[in-house]
Chains A and B, each alone.
Chain A
Amino acid sequence: MSEVQKKFMRRQKGEKYLILLIQILIVGGFFGLWEILARHKIINEFIFSSPSKIWQTIYDLMLAGNLFHHIFTTLYEILIAFVLGIILGFIIAIILYELPLLAKIVDPFLTMLNSLPKVAIGPLIIIIAGARTKSIIIMALLINLIVSIITIYNGFLNIDPCKLKLLDSLKATKMQKLTKLIIPASYQTIISSLKLNISMSQIGVIMGEFLVSRAGIGYLIIYGTQVFNLSLVMSGILILIIISFILYQIVTYLEHLLLKNKF
């Protein structure tokens, strides 16, 4: 490695550490300032809570033994909605692709469903399916499924017509076209729809928990609001931020793993 290259690498590395340092300072400063402002009663601790109170709340929840119950409830619901969304989205996209007439017929309905704020039907779902986990998952599915279908279906439509013509000239069957071309060619689209799907699933699950109010992080937040325990609300939000950050990282890593050496 030449001197100049070494210097370049050093500078790049230095910049990376600098960015990380500043990010840590921002987070630390934020919590520090928050704590100081709350202690000196410059902000209302009752409404804005404080880092130490949030920590106390989370610690108490842990001692009471139900912190992990709430976290796992939420994670479980997100996972089910995520997996179901991907599988159903994939199957429905294939059906629409194979039946172009059906696709044309349902197109405006899909658009309508896609633009509808799904929270609006939340109460209806609860009446029909009951105030249960099932309703939460239906809610999340409603949000992630439409997006998955549209993304994957559009991936199918974008397949190179030359490759389709090639398979036609080889007299490939419909099934062969699916397995040899359409699915492998859309692999990338399907993988990138995972990221969208995971965030949609989270939105759906939290919304569902707000409405169903039995367990989960969404429940903690809504319960905290009802009893005016703002530390509980803040704790819920903080845990949620951490969960979604970790899930996002996992999906990004998964995507990297699945696409590595592929294209």
Chain B
Amino acid sequence: MTKSLLTIKNLKKNYHTLNGEIEAIDNISLDVCEGEFICIVGSSGCGKSTLLNILANLETKSAGEINYHQKDLKIGYMLQEDALFPWLTILDNALLGLVIEKKDSPENIKYVKELLKAYGLAEFQDKYPRQLSGGMKQRVALIRTLATRPDILLLDEPFSALDYQSRLAVSNDVYQIIKKEHKTVIMITHDIAEAISLASRIIVLSKRPAKIKSVYELNLSDTLNPIARRQAPEFSKYYEKIWKDLDINV
């Protein structure tokens, strides 16, 4: 059996503003195991980012428990925007997390250079972000997150800023990178197809306040890559179910 990395129990989150209280998360419980690729889908504004922000310790919870089953469980957070610094080179951007943590040792710098090389960015390492395409920038942002060697990756709609074509390509790349580095992932998306093509488990959230509406364990063959998965016969079956769960009014 795979090892559980963290357990969320009855998590609640209320925001307090001058215009009143906003209930963002209502009673979410979740167990995250090593090597899982969890996709969270839910309509916009339902509280998905809030959940990741709490897991990444950027936001406090209002009630509930989060238990980390490993001492110093390291969390890497990749935001929706690449948030690359325009005045830093690609290499320096990729090293940012290590520099902040004062872990920019020669071995770690070598590791980042290897990552850049492995993912087709070696020749761009002395260039600036503005010289790269959106998909490349997103890959640099992922490498910046991977550089600090996190145990869990939190990805908040990492591809939503890209056009459809690069989105397919980059999500495929990212999937390969993550599988190769054996990372555990919690990813947010509002794209059902993307979720089915990447996840080992999909969690559908209700409208705000977010509750878990349904959970799907996907048994699409793990050897298939995300693009091949889209052609799998079960694909449309899942798609339909999740679409119904989301209850999108068009």
Contacts and interface: CB of A to CB of B under 8 A. Distances in A.
A169 B56 contact: yes
A29 to B, nearest CB: 47
Nearest to A163: B83
A263 B86 CA distance: 7
Nearest to A164: B83
B124 to A, nearest CB: 17
A174 interface: no
Given A162-B81, A176-B100, A169 B58 contact: yes
Interface string B111-132: 0000000000000000000100
Interface residues of B, number: 17
A181 B79 CA distance: 17
Given A184-B85, A187-B87, A162 B79 contact: yes
A184 B80 CA distance: 22
For the complex of A and B, the 3 pairs showing the least CB-CB separation, nearest first, are A169-B77, A166-B83, A162-B81
Given A169-B56, A169-B58, A160 B83 contact: yes
Nearest to A172: B100
B100 A170 contact: yes
B209 interface: no
Contacts of A166: 77, 79, 83, 96
Nearest to A165: B79
Contacts of B148: 170
B83 A165 contact: yes
Interface extent on A, as a size class?
10 to 19
A82 to B, nearest CB: 25
Contact of B85 (A163, A170, A171, A172): A163
Contacts, number: 44
18 contacts: A162-B80, A162-B81, A163-B83, A163-B85, A167-B100, A168-B58, A169-B77, A169-B79, A170-B96, A170-B97, A171-B101, A172-B100, A180-B85, A180-B96, A184-B85, A262-B87, A263-B87, A263-B130
Nearest to B87: A184
A62 B100 CA distance: 59
Interface string A180-215: 110011010000000000000000000000000000
Interface string A140-172: 000000000000000000001011011111111
B205 to A, nearest CB: 21
Contacts of B58: 165, 168-169
A165 B77 CA distance: 10
A181 B87 CA distance: 10
Contacts of B85: 163, 180-181, 184-185
Contacts of A181: 85
Contacts of B101: 170-171
A99 B81 CA distance: 28
Contacts of B79: 162, 165-166, 169
A181 B86 CA distance: 10
Interface in B49-91: 56, 58, 77, 79-81, 83, 85-87
Nearest to B98: A170
A171 B130 CA distance: 26
A186 B58 CA distance: 24
A181 B130 CA distance: 17
